Amino acid sequence: MTEYDRRDERRSTANGRSALPCSGFTLVELIVVVSIAAILLSIAVPSYQSSVTKYRISTEVNGLVGDLQYARSEAIKQGIPVTVCVTADNLTCSGATTWSTGRIVLVNPLDPVANAGSVLRMAAPFSGTDTAAPAPTVTSISFNRDGFAGVPSAASWNGFTSLTAAVVVTVWDQARTTDLESCVVISQIGKISVLASGAALPAPLAGNC
């Protein structure tokens, strides 16, 4: 370094300027980085939301299946009909057909809408805005001592009438996203199965979940 360079360095330092070169991002580089981040977020956020919804629906379906299996098991063990139904007060069946508003498992009374049976289990309403609806429309599902599925009936001596066809309870989100739907199938003999969206319904039912 020459004497002239040393004098120039001292002059730059004295004036408050660093002798070292400055570094940083240019405006163009910053815009490019922000654009890439925005593109990645636009891809990741919908995928994340879909995963959350799928997990939530899976949890709700598992809860419904668990209640149905428990009711069937108790009916066989106790030798009397046991019912799963929608409830508004956690004591009696409400008679509603939307199965996402809360359920109870109870020892079957002759008329589950008017009389309280012995409640064995309670289930909270679905979280969020998910919906569960049966087809054909039923307000409750009962199992008899043989494990067969049916509906409560005050006209029957044991408060039970067998199903004439399998019941399919479909669970979906608020947007009714087709590939996120799930179906719970209750057959006449009491078999309970879960189908993913698009899966064929078991014979003799026609169509897909």
Could you say which residues of the chain have pLDDT below 50? 4, 11, 13-14
Tokens read off for 107? 């020892």
Q: Which fold, 50-196? A: minor pseudopilin epsh fold (3.55.40)
pLDDT value, residue 2? 54
State the residue for tokens 């049916």: 150
In the prediction, which pLDDT does 67 show? 96
Domain limits of the chain? 50-196
Residue 60 has what pLDDT?
Answer: 92
Torsion angles phi and psi, residue 124, rounded to 5: -70, 160
The number of beta carbons lying within 10 Å of the beta carbon of residue 179 is: 9
Contact residues for 163 (Cβ-Cβ < 8 A; gap 6+): 148, 149, 150, 151, 186, 187, 188
| pLDDT at position 37 | 72
pLDDT, position 14:
47
What is the number of residues in the chain? 209
Model's pTM, two decimal places?
0.74
Query: What is the C-alpha to C-alpha distance for residues 156 and 164, in angstroms, rounded to an integer?
Result: 15
Location of structure tokens 């360079």: 5
CA dist., res. 116 & res. 186, Å (int): 24
